Structure 1
Amino acid sequence: MELVRLELKNFLSYREGELDFTGLHLAALVGPNGAGKSSLLDAITWALWGRTSRLDRDQDHLVHRGEKEARVSLTFRLGEAVYRVTRVRRRGKGNIMLDFQMLAPRQRVLSGAGVRETQEEINRVLQIDFDTFVNSAFIRQGRADEFTTKTPAGRKEVLAEILRLDQWAELEERAKEKIRQIDLQLDNLKWRMDEHEQELQRRPEYEAAFRQASMEHLARQEEREAAEREWEALRRDEDRARAMRERLRELEEQRGEIEGHLARLKEQIAQLQESLGRWQELTRRREAILAAWEELQRAREALARMEEASREAHALRERRMELEKRIAVARERLEGERRQLQAEIEAIVARAARRSELEAEAANIRRRLDERPALEEEIRTLKERQQALQTERGERQNENRRLYQEMKDLEARIQAISQIGAECPTCRRPLPEEERRRLQQEWEQEGRRRGDRYRENQARLQAIDQEQGQLEARLKECERLLKELSGLELRMEQIEAELREIRGELQRLEEKRQALREIEQRLREDRVAPEEQAALHEIDAALAALGYDIETHDALRRRVRELEEAGQEWHRLQEAERRIPQEEEALHRLEEIYRMERERQDRLQKEWERLEEERKALEERLKIMPEASRRVEAARQAEREARDRVIAAKQRLENCDRLEEELVQLRKEKIQLEEEKGLYRDLQVAFSRNGIPAMIIETILPEIEEEANRILQRLTDGRLTVRFRSQRETKSGTVQETLDILISDEGEERPYENFSGGEKFRVDFAIRLALSRVLARRSGTPLRLLVVDEGFGSQDQTGRERLIEALNTVKDEFSTVLIISHLEEFQDAFPVRIEVRKTANGSQLHVVR
């Protein structure tokens, strides 16, 4: 993996930050403690895995103080592919956004449905996790000698941690847990097998009980069947008695229905006899009814002719009223036109009187508008001067902020070396007195120069503020005048439009006066709606010719009403002649039905008396039913109890058969669990510290040793070599597991503790760098980044030069090598420096090439 670009926003001490790794092959990352150097490394791991070397629990602290969210975007290259991952943290639990994209060779989105799916895709592409990346790419501060200063057992633990061999301890514990689970299963199996064997010993007892219960059940079954036969005979008699009672109820209902039917028939016969008498009486007055009917028909014909004349007269009168309304509307319309023309003529005359006044106002406005070009030019000049002053003000303010910070830094540095015997504020070396005075004088002179420039800027800023106030006042006055001119332009347009309207209206004034004279003449001569007035004369002539008389019409209506009763009697006479034969026939049918219903009533009475006698005899016999029911229930209960005993005995025998089968299966399962337990015991041994982890360490030690000696060759001119010993012979002659570090100085092996601090550091650095290289190769992902976060103050000048030479030797194996150091002479040995400074706006990055 090769880093391309890192972008930060509100992350830890950074508000804004961007680092382009292009060309950063070998670089020093410098800056005071707390400036934010380690935060850059945290940003890389947080973007990729959401983890840092600190603050993993409460990640709200990753957000810059006072801000709502932190954002880190990291672009990296894997082979020919270029990727970009962006992670955002908003304050509050769970507020995480993660975006993953491929930028080359073609752009596409790789983000999943959520943060978890996206992280899984990042892990799949990287093929390396957080711990492996940190242990292989970072040599963190204070941990270079972590391996060499430990005891042999401690070295194995450190190596196991770096190689992540703790997974084998987890597997060992899982094997132990599986063995404990199998032991619990074996105990449970033994208990179940003992229970099964105890139950199977009682089989002969269960077989005898089953035979006895079967014989008793057969006897109880015969008793139950006899009781049920007696009960069924009684039930049949009970059904017969119930059917008889039902039939008696039906006969009672039928008797009641027949009595009601006879009463209704008698009433209907009386009503028919009365109706027939009325119809016969009407036929006896037939001649008088017919004479009145004929007179009614003649009166109705005369009334119909009079009604037609009335409708025609009504239509003519309605038409006459409509014509009169239309004539009135036409006259009113002409009156409205006359009034409208009079108002328009008066308005035109009144507006024409304002013509000279408007023309004078227009001439005055034109003189004012001629001032506009000069006013606009003055406004443009004022704004340009304002912009120039604003730019100058910003530049001087920025310069003063920088000068203020620089003076504070100089003051702190002067204070730090003001005492005799002071130390260098960066490397903590004692400063010679002459060097201390020289530095103090140079810094004081530099502070005075910056102070003079600061005061000069302050004076100029005050002058700028005064001039800007004057410019602002004049600009407001010019803009007010320009706004007034814009209002005058609008008024000018209104005046010109009104003058055009007045000239047009004066041209139409004579036409309107002529139209008014014509309308007034038509009103005087009553020449309004001539067609309607002609139609009105024709309607008056038609009404006179129709000759309709309303009194004659009323007399005919009264005579028709008087003769209506005779008409109704004529209709009843027609109905009587039709109904008399029908009602005579209906009366004969009702009398016959009444006779047949009386005969049916006698038959039902005889059947009811016979069924009543049979019912009483059956109910007397059914009195023994309760006792018979008790005998049946007792027999059934005895049979059920006997059957339950048979079922229980049979179930016990069937349970014995099932237990025998289960016992065979449990014995097989016991054998399988014992075999599985043996396998897990073998796995426990293999996963233990002296198993596979010891074999892995034994295998990787030669590779680490070879890599460390290759680096030491550069650091010590081949004088020092290192050798790892994983086993040694005890005094008793046995072999003991260990992890000793043997250092050879020009062929002579000496203990690690006898070497100087600089030599120890070179050995520590070589071993730690070798561990990083080996771990990176074994991860399967080629890492192109190395970060050395370690102090080199223990090295002399020669040692530092050799460390630089060693770094130059291995730099071609990496795309980027970052060295974090505060030693100025050490920083100057690198072609590129990344300076980190903490300012009021957060940490700032500055690359010096």
Structure 2
Amino acid sequence: MSQITIETLQIENFLSIKEGTLNLENRGLLLIQGINEDDSSANSNGAGKSSVVDALSWALYGITARGRSGDKVVNRTAKKNCRVEVKFREGEDVYTVTRYRKHTKGKSRLHLFKGESDLTLGTDKLTQEQLEKILGCSQEVFMASIYAGQGCMPNLPAMTDKELKELVEEAAGGKALEAAYEIARKRAQEAEKAALVVATRYETQERTQGALELQIEEARENVTGWASENAGQIATAEKSVNDALTKAKGLKEKATPEARAGLEARIESIKADIASVASPPPAPIAPVAPSYPAAAYPKPRPLPPAGSAALAVNVGKNKVKLEHATKQLGNLAHELKHLNDKVGTACGECSKTYEEGDLAARKTTIAKQAGELKTERDTLISLIAADEASIRELEELHKRQIEEVDLENSLAADEHRAVCASLDAEYEEARETHQKALDAHRAAIAKLDTSKLLAALTVAQSELTAFDSVVADIKTTLTLAKTIRERVEELKAATNPWEKEVEKRSEELDRVLDVRKATREELDLKNEAVEVAKAAVAVFAPNGIRGELLDSVTPFLNDRTATYLGALSDGNIEATWLTVGETEKGELREKFHIDVDNKHGDEDFEGLSGGEQRKVRIATAMALQDLVASRAHKPLKLFVADEVDDALDVSGLERLMGILEDKARTTGTVLTISHNDIGDWVRDHITVRKSGGQSIIEEAA
């Protein structure tokens, strides 16, 4: 079994302690005393002695021995940079635990190292879990195994049966048994659930088996039913074949080739009789409608003469020229009339004043131009008159030509109408003649009587059609008989489909039976597991092994209590741990308690003096702590006695120091915290000195 050895403890700005370093390995009996220079009336109280133990608990678990945590552990004067570091050893492995609060460097984190290897995880919670695995115990077990303090020392002799049982069970590992009980209950529940799942599956398989057996029974009934139905269909089909053949045979006896030949000969005879009747006269031919000759009119009127248009154009042009020449003559006459009016006026080009001599040349020019224009005018008048006369002659000629054509067209129209009227008269006469001939033809037809022959022909043809229908019916009946015969062969060759269904369901049933057998075996195993789990629950139940636990630890508690109390009381006081008690009637019953007896005083705990009660409480509490330490997974080589000497007389104190000396030899280091002057009993001591709101730890010189 490995042990945990606390080597050193470093404290910085924790509670009242400003700084200090303690070597805790193999110090033997080590006294922690205090001096409170801030309050002379308090003596050593408030100096910070118990803060040393609080620092150890806080560094390892994040909570002090007195239940403080968070920012409450930071020194009130410094207000920051709180740090506690613990080094401990397990075998050859050395671990360093450093916990910070409001620290400039470490913030409020927890760091864990194994030698030089950093074991710190992502969160303080994960790191704390890692640390507790290394320590092998929780904070409660840690404090219970190493710490005896005035404020937390239980009054064991005064406890009730239930309170004492719970405390001793916890100290003896009863928590583990309780946890084992819960685990056993949980496993039993899980086993029952697992068994229920298998049982449900087994029942489902049973229902499946029943359903398959029912399906097989139904399928077998269907096999019989199908066979019966198939036989009935075969019998019905064979009867239909026989009926069809019988019908075809009867029809064949009537519809012989000779009978058909007789019908055909009969029809031909009737047709010959009809043909032998006198033929009617041929129908008269209808007259053809007249075809009128094409009309030789009207002839087109002649076009105007070609030259008249050209003459009209020349007349128009010459009239324009005539108008222009006449206008120029007027302009010259006007200029000549007013030419003398320019005499005495200035020339518009050279500004020279006109004189009569200056205008003579212009008068000559005007006279010449006027003569030429008059000649041109006269010529144009002659041309216009000649052309207009020619135009009138051509128009008279064209008028006479039109009158001649119109007369010719009128005569041709009269002649054409006369020809058409003659043709219409001839057609009407021919049509009347044809109508008379047609009436005579109809009368001749009416005299002929072929109705009886036609009726006989119709009857004969109907009989021939009926004969052909019978022949077709024979073919249809024979075809039907063939089809039914083929169906009979199919029915005879058909395999009963329900036989495969029976085979299939039977195979499924065999598989279900095999699975159900395996499930039954599995269910038996699950039920056995349930019984085992229930047995485990019974073992770890309060009336099981947990009840035996008290019987097993009672001798140890009595031995340790006797050792401690014998030393403290010089054998005058005895405290015995008992699991049974006596009622007022003298009957024995289960009761866990501590029986106290003073050889020279009262017989029960309540009758002892305060100092005697204190000795009993110390002895029983230390015995209980020994029980915790003895059952710890990794025992701690450290013990803390915090003011356990309070209220002891000198002899009791001397005996207590002897006990602590013995404990120091087994644990290596026992920290004794006291505000009494016990330096004479303890050689090694340290002082916690408080001044200015902060304490420092001083080692003895």
How far 1:139 sits from its partner (Å)? 0.7
For residues 633 and 691 of structure 2, the distance between their equivalents in structure 1, rounded to whole angstroms, comes to 41
Task: Tell me the residue number matched to 1:836.
Answer: 688
Q: Is 2:689 the partner of 1:845?
A: no
Task: Tell me the residue number matched to 2:216.
Answer: 204
For residues 500 and 56 of structure 2, the distance between their equivalents in structure 1, rounded to whole angstroms, comes to 77
How far 1:154 sits from its partner (Å)? 1.8
State whether residues 44 and 74 of structure 1, in contact with CA within 8 Å, keep that contact through their aligned partners in structure 2. yes
State whether residues 726 and 738 of structure 1, in contact with CA within 8 Å, keep that contact through their aligned partners in structure 2. yes
How far 1:780 sits from its partner (Å)? 5.5
Match among 564, 568, 590 for residue 715 of structure 1: 568
Match among 112, 132, 147 for residue 156 of structure 2: 147
Q: Is 2:671 the partner of 1:818?
A: yes
1:647/1:725 Cα in 2 relative to 1: closer, same or farther (>3 Å)?
same
**C-alpha offsets along residues 70-124 of structure 1, whole Å, 9 cap, x if unaligned?**
322123355676553333456899953413244xxxxx53636666786677556
Task: Tell me the residue number matched to 1:251.
Answer: none
Match among 482, 506, 514 for residue 661 of structure 1: 514
State whether residues 191 and 533 of structure 2, in contact with CA within 8 Å, keep that contact through their aligned partners in structure 1. no
Task: Tell me the residue number matched to 1:180.
Answer: 189
Task: Tell me the residue number matched to 1:39.
Answer: 51
Number of residue pairs the alignment of both structures matches: 418
Task: Tell me the residue number matched to 1:6.
Answer: 9
Task: Tell me the residue number matched to 1:16.
Answer: 19
Task: Tell me the residue number matched to 2:32.
Answer: 28
- Letter in structure 2 aligned against 1:111: L
1:808/1:179 Cα in 2 relative to 1: closer, same or farther (>3 Å)?
closer
1:185/1:783 Cα in 2 relative to 1: closer, same or farther (>3 Å)?
closer
How far 1:685 sits from its partner (Å)? 1.6
How far 1:211 sits from its partner (Å)? 5.4
Task: Tell me the residue number matched to 2:595.
Answer: 742
- Letter in structure 2 aligned against 1:758: G
For residues 572 and 618 of structure 2, the distance between their equivalents in structure 1, rounded to whole angstroms, comes to 16
Local SS of the residue matching 1:71: strand
Task: Tell me the residue number matched to 2:117.
Answer: 109
State whether residues 213 and 509 of structure 2, in contact with CA within 8 Å, keep that contact through their aligned partners in structure 1. no
Q: Any stretches of 5+ residues in structure 1 without a counterpart?
A: 103-107, 219-643
How far 1:677 sits from its partner (Å)? 1.7
Local SS of the residue matching 2:158: coil
For residues 219 and 49 of structure 2, the distance between their equivalents in structure 1, rounded to whole angstroms, comes to 90
Q: Is 2:181 the partner of 1:157?
A: no
Larger Rg: 2
Q: Any stretches of 5+ residues in structure 2 without a counterpart?
A: 37-43, 231-496
1:652/1:806 Cα in 2 relative to 1: closer, same or farther (>3 Å)?
same
Local SS of the residue matching 1:39: helix
How far 1:8 sits from its partner (Å)? 1.8
For residues 224 and 52 of structure 2, the distance between their equivalents in structure 1, rounded to whole angstroms, comes to 93
For residues 734 and 199 of structure 1, the distance between their equivalents in structure 2, rounded to whole angstroms, comes to 65
State whether residues 663 and 670 of structure 2, in contact with CA within 8 Å, keep that contact through their aligned partners in structure 1. no
- Letter in structure 2 aligned against 1:705: N
State whether residues 137 and 787 of structure 1, in contact with CA within 8 Å, keep that contact through their aligned partners in structure 2. yes
1:174/1:732 Cα in 2 relative to 1: closer, same or farther (>3 Å)?
farther
State whether residues 77 and 83 of structure 1, in contact with CA within 8 Å, keep that contact through their aligned partners in structure 2. yes
For residues 547 and 556 of structure 2, the distance between their equivalents in structure 1, rounded to whole angstroms, comes to 15
List aligned pairs for 1:322-471, cutoff 5 A.
none
How far 1:743 sits from its partner (Å)? 2.7
1:55/1:746 Cα in 2 relative to 1: closer, same or farther (>3 Å)?
closer
For residues 648 and 676 of structure 1, the distance between their equivalents in structure 2, rounded to whole angstroms, comes to 41
Local SS of the residue matching 1:794: coil
1:818/1:209 Cα in 2 relative to 1: closer, same or farther (>3 Å)?
same
- Letter in structure 1 aligned against 2:8: R
For residues 51 and 797 of structure 1, the distance between their equivalents in structure 2, rounded to whole angstroms, comes to 35
**C-alpha offsets along residues 603-642 of structure 1, whole Å, 9 cap, x if unaligned?**
xxxxxxxxxxxxxxxxxxxxxxxxxxxxxxxxxxxxxxxx
State whether residues 71 and 88 of structure 1, in contact with CA within 8 Å, keep that contact through their aligned partners in structure 2. yes
For residues 790 and 647 of structure 1, the distance between their equivalents in structure 2, rounded to whole angstroms, comes to 94
How far 1:156 sits from its partner (Å)? 1.5
Task: Tell me the residue number matched to 2:528.
Answer: 675
Task: Tell me the residue number matched to 1:131.
Answer: 140
1:210/1:654 Cα in 2 relative to 1: closer, same or farther (>3 Å)?
farther
Q: Is 2:552 the partner of 1:699?
A: yes
Task: Tell me the residue number matched to 2:70.
Answer: 59
- Letter in structure 1 aligned against 2:12: K
1:62/1:658 Cα in 2 relative to 1: closer, same or farther (>3 Å)?
farther
For residues 633 and 58 of structure 2, the distance between their equivalents in structure 1, rounded to whole angstroms, comes to 21
How far 1:687 sits from its partner (Å)? 0.6
Local SS of the residue matching 1:700: helix
1:777/1:791 Cα in 2 relative to 1: closer, same or farther (>3 Å)?
closer
1:768/1:206 Cα in 2 relative to 1: closer, same or farther (>3 Å)?
same
State whether residues 60 and 91 of structure 1, in contact with CA within 8 Å, keep that contact through their aligned partners in structure 2. no
**C-alpha offsets along residues 736-756 of structure 1, whole Å, 9 cap, x if unaligned?**
332232233338881111111
State whether residues 145 and 761 of structure 1, in contact with CA within 8 Å, keep that contact through their aligned partners in structure 2. no
For residues 95 and 128 of structure 2, the distance between their equivalents in structure 1, rounded to whole angstroms, comes to 14
How far 1:36 sits from its partner (Å)? 3.5
How far 1:764 sits from its partner (Å)? 1.0
1:207/1:140 Cα in 2 relative to 1: closer, same or farther (>3 Å)?
farther
Task: Tell me the residue number matched to 1:76.
Answer: 88
State whether residues 687 and 700 of structure 2, in contact with CA within 8 Å, keep that contact through their aligned partners in structure 1. yes
State whether residues 111 and 117 of structure 1, in contact with CA within 8 Å, keep that contact through their aligned partners in structure 2. no
1:109/1:117 Cα in 2 relative to 1: closer, same or farther (>3 Å)?
farther
**C-alpha offsets along residues 644-695 of structure 1, whole Å, 9 cap, x if unaligned?**
9999998766654443333323322332222112112211121122322333
How far 1:68 sits from its partner (Å)? 5.7
- Letter in structure 2 aligned against 1:84: T
State whether residues 136 and 634 of structure 2, in contact with CA within 8 Å, keep that contact through their aligned partners in structure 1. yes
Local SS of the residue matching 1:202: helix
Local SS of the residue matching 2:531: helix
State whether residues 186 and 673 of structure 1, in contact with CA within 8 Å, keep that contact through their aligned partners in structure 2. yes
For residues 638 and 181 of structure 2, the distance between their equivalents in structure 1, rounded to whole angstroms, comes to 35
1:144/1:112 Cα in 2 relative to 1: closer, same or farther (>3 Å)?
closer
For residues 89 and 199 of structure 2, the distance between their equivalents in structure 1, rounded to whole angstroms, comes to 62
